[in-house]
Copies of this chain bind each other. A is one copy, B any other.
Amino acid sequence: MFWDSDVGKWIEAASYALAHRRDDDIEAKIEAAIDDLEKAQAPDGYLNCWYLGREPDKRWTNLRDNHEMYNAGHLLEGAVAYFQVTGRRRFLDIMERYLDHIYATFGTGPNQRRGYDGHEEIELALMKLYYLTGERKHLDFATYIINERGQQPPHYFDIERERREGGDTRQPYVHGNYEYSQSHKPVRDQDKVVGHAVRAMYLYTAMADLAAELNDPELKRACEVLWDDVMQTKMYVTAGLGPSAHNEGFTHDFDLPNQTAYAETCASVALIFWAQRMLHLDLDGKYADILELAMFNGALSGLSRDGEHYFYANPLESDGTPTRWEWHTCPCCTMNVSRLVASVGQYFLSTAEDGVAFHLYGGIASNVDIAGTKVSLREVSTYPWSGDIKIHVDPETPATFDVKLRIPDWCEGAGVSVNGETIDLSTAEKGYLTINREWQKGDVISLDLPMPPVRLYAHPGVIMDAGRVALKRGPLVYCLEETDNPGGKVQRLKLPRHAQLRTEKSDLFDGIVTLKADATAIDEADFRQLYRTDPPQETPSTLTAVPYFLWANREQGSMVVWVPEAVG
Which A positions have Cβ atoms within 8 angstroms of B?
A: 231-233, 235, 237, 252, 254-255, 257, 259-260, 317, 319, 321, 454-464, 466-468, 470, 488-489, 491-492, 494, 496-497, 522, 524, 527, 529-536, 558, 560, 564-568
Contacts and interface: CB of A to CB of B under 8 A. Distances in A.
B536 A457 contact: yes
Given A460-B489, A460-B491, 4 more contacts: A317-B463, A460-B524, A466-B564, A467-B494
Main secondary structure of the interface of A (DSSP, over half): loop
Contacts of A489: 254, 460-461, 463
B458 A233 contact: no
A257, A260, A458, A466: most-surrounded residue (chain B CB, <10 A) = A466
Nearest to A559: B463
Contact of A491 (B321, B466, B494, B530): B466
B463 A560 contact: yes
Contacts of A524: 459-461
Contacts of A567: 467, 496-497, 565-568
Contact of A531 (B458, B497, B522, B527): B458
Nearest to A466: B491
Q: What copy number does this chain have within its complex? A: 2
A468 B467 contact: yes
A259 B244 CA distance: 13
Nearest to A472: B533
Contacts of A565: 467, 567
A459 B531 contact: yes
- Please name the 3 residue pairs, one residue from A and one from B, whose CB atoms are nearest each other, closest first: A568-B568, A467-B564, A460-B492
Contacts of A259: 257, 463-464
A231 to B, nearest CB: 7
Contacts of A461: 319, 488-489, 524, 527
Nearest to A535: B457
Given A260-B257, A321-B252, A454 B533 contact: yes
Nearest to A487: B460
